[in-house]
Amino acid sequence: MAERLALFATTARGTEDLLAEELKELGARRIRQDRGGVRFLASLDEALMVCLWSRIAMRVLYPLGEFEAHGAEGLYEAVASVPWEEHLTPETTFAVEATLKDSEHSHTGFVALKVKDAVVDRMRDKMGARPDVDPRNPDVRVVAHLVRERLSLSLDLCGEPLHRRGYRVRPTPAPLKETLAAALLRAAGYTGEEALVDPMCGSGTILIEGGLIARRRAPGIARDFAVEKWPHLGARARELLEDLRADARRNERKVTVPILGFDKDPEALEAARRNVKAAKLAEEIQLEEGDATKLPPLPASGGLLITNPPYGDRLGSGGQKGMKSFYFKLGDSLRAQAGWRVWVLSGNPAFESAFHSRPRSRRDLWNGPIACTLLGYSPRGGTEKSEAPLGAPEEPLNVAAVRPEDEGEEQR
Ligand SMILES: C[S@@+](CC[C@H](N)C(=O)[O-])C[C@H]1O[C@@H](n2cnc3c(N)ncnc32)[C@H](O)[C@@H]1O
pLDDT tens digits for 125-179? 999 999 999 999 999 999 999 999 999 999 999 999 999 999 999 878 889 999 9
**What pLDDT does 402 receive?**
35
**What pLDDT does 320 receive?**
86
What digits encode the pLDDT tens for the residues 235-287? 999 999 999 999 999 999 999 999 999 999 999 999 999 999 999 999 999 99
- Share in percent of the chain as helix, strand, coil (round to 5): 35, 25, 45
- Nearest-angstrom CA–CA distance, 277 and 168: 10
**What pLDDT does 280 receive?**
97
The neighbour count for residue 371, using CB atoms within 10 Å, is 12
Atom of ligand 1 nearest to the CA of 326: 19
Residue 409 Cβ inside 6 Å of ligand 1? The answer reads no
> Do residues 241 and 48 lie in contact, with contact meaning Cβ atoms separated by under 8 Å?
yes
**What pLDDT does 213 receive?**
98
State the helix-helix crossing angle for 108-127 and 71-80, rounded to 10 degrees.
Answer: 40
- Atom 26 of ligand 1 has which residue's CA nearest to it? 202
- Nearest-angstrom CA–CA distance, 255 and 204: 17
**What pLDDT does 216 receive?**
98
Under 8 Å CB-to-CB from 107, ≥6 apart: which residues? none
Residue numbers of the chain with a pLDDT score lower than 50: 1, 315, 317, 386, 388-412
Residue 291 Cβ inside 6 Å of ligand 1? The answer reads yes
SS3 264: coil
**What pLDDT does 380 receive?**
83
Query: Which structural domains are found in the chain, ordered by start?
Result: 5-156 (3.30.2130.30), 166-217+253-412 (3.40.50.150)
- Nearest-angstrom CA–CA distance, 276 and 274: 5
**What pLDDT does 382 receive?**
63
Residue 157 Cβ inside 6 Å of ligand 1? The answer reads no
Residue 209 Cβ inside 6 Å of ligand 1? The answer reads no
Atom of ligand 1 nearest to the CA of 172: 9
> Do residues 181 and 219 lie in contact, with contact meaning Cβ atoms separated by under 8 Å?
no
